[in-house]
Amino acid sequence: MTENDVKHDATLRGVGSMATRQVLAALADLYERATGCRVSVTSLGGVEAARRVQGGAAFDFAVLAAGAIDRLLAGASLMGERVDIVRSGMAAAVAAGVPHPDIGTEGALREAMSRATRIGYSTGPSGDHLVGLLERWGVAETMLPRLVKAQPGVPVASLIASGEVELGFQQLSELKDVPGVDVIGPLPGEAQLVTVFSAAVCAVSTRQTAAGDFLAFLASDQAEATKRAFGMTAAGG
């Protein structure tokens, strides 16, 4: 039996970071309805997802930050070409019902952070960027003790909703439409970080053609409305 013979009667299995969990689930459902091909995506912290791919875990494709995909391609854990899927910006959020601080300018954002007693942030590119902002502003020494890093795979939104932090930062897709959490808005101007999430086929996959077909769908115009619904844009947008 060839790969084409089993394309529609076996599940494609992928791995992705938590930032793309919801949008990939929605797109996988859309793809199954259109083609009959089932797709299952395991969502993990980005570092752990990359570690599993590098270790040869039995996935057909991976969706991670573009830099991580490039490293895995260079190490031959992934194969073929990188397919850019979505662009995802950072946002700030507070508990539902709490007054929203002004973050409309970089100066206002800095002031809002200086007033917060506990600030939640994540691992990965967005967390590194937030720490970098504090260093650029010259306030890292005073602000770092106020930071609460979410454990890998734990959304910052859960820290906000539980009251563990007063102000939280993460990808908009991970803060949007979470009960108990209000998104203030995107980070302003040069304080913003837009992460490109990309994909590639796993070298260990036995269904590489089918995996490639799904990745082509993720990058297609058919997927754009779903990406927007989850606070993301097409990688070229």
Q: Could you tell me if 154 and 102 lie in one domain?
A: yes
| Cα-Cα end-to-end distance for the chain | 40
What is the pLDDT, as a whole number, of residue 69? 97
**Helical (H) or strand (E) element with 51:** helix 46-54
Give the relative orientation of helices 21-35 and 208-218 as an angle to the nearest 10 degrees: 110
Q: Contact at 8 Å (CB) between 231 and 88?
A: yes
Q: Could you tell me if 161 and 179 lie in one domain?
A: yes
Reduced to 3 states (helix: H, G, I; strand: E, B; else coil), residue 213 is helix
Q: Could you tell me if 140 and 99 lie in one domain?
A: yes
| Of residues 173, 192, 221, 183, the one with CA closest to residue 63 | 173
Q: Could you tell me if 11 and 27 lie in one domain?
A: yes
Q: Could you tell me if 92 and 187 lie in one domain?
A: yes
What is the pLDDT, as a whole number, of residue 7? 44
| Of residues 80, 81, 77, the one with CA closest to residue 55 | 77
Q: Could you tell me if 121 and 169 lie in one domain?
A: yes
Q: Distance between CA 193 and CA 215 in Å, rounded?
A: 24
Question: Model pTM?
Answer: 0.84
Residue after which a domain boundary falls, among 175, 191, 207: 191
Is the Cα torsion angle 93, 44, 200, 64 positive or negative in sign?
positive
Instruction: For the chain, 237 residues long, give each residue's pLDDT as a single digit of tens.
Output: 344 444 444 899 999 988 899 999 999 999 999 999 999 999 988 889 999 999 999 999 999 999 999 999 999 999 999 999 999 999 999 999 999 999 999 999 999 999 999 999 998 788 899 999 999 999 999 999 999 999 877 889 999 999 999 999 999 988 998 999 999 999 999 999 999 999 999 999 999 999 999 999 999 999 999 999 998 999 975
Q: Contact at 8 Å (CB) between 89 and 186?
A: yes
What is the pLDDT, as a whole number, of residue 4? 45
What is the pLDDT, as a whole number, of residue 54? 97
Q: Could you tell me if 209 and 141 lie in one domain?
A: no
The domain of 65 spans 3-86+196-234
Q: Could you tell me if 138 and 156 lie in one domain?
A: yes
Q: Could you tell me if 75 and 92 lie in one domain?
A: no
What is the pLDDT, as a whole number, of residue 154? 84
What is the pLDDT, as a whole number, of residue 18? 86
Q: How many domains does the chain have?
A: 2
Task: Please report, for the domain that includes residue 141, its CATH number.
Answer: 3.40.190.10
Q: Could you tell me if 187 and 204 lie in one domain?
A: no
Q: Could you tell me if 95 and 74 lie in one domain?
A: no
Q: Could you tell me if 177 and 94 lie in one domain?
A: yes
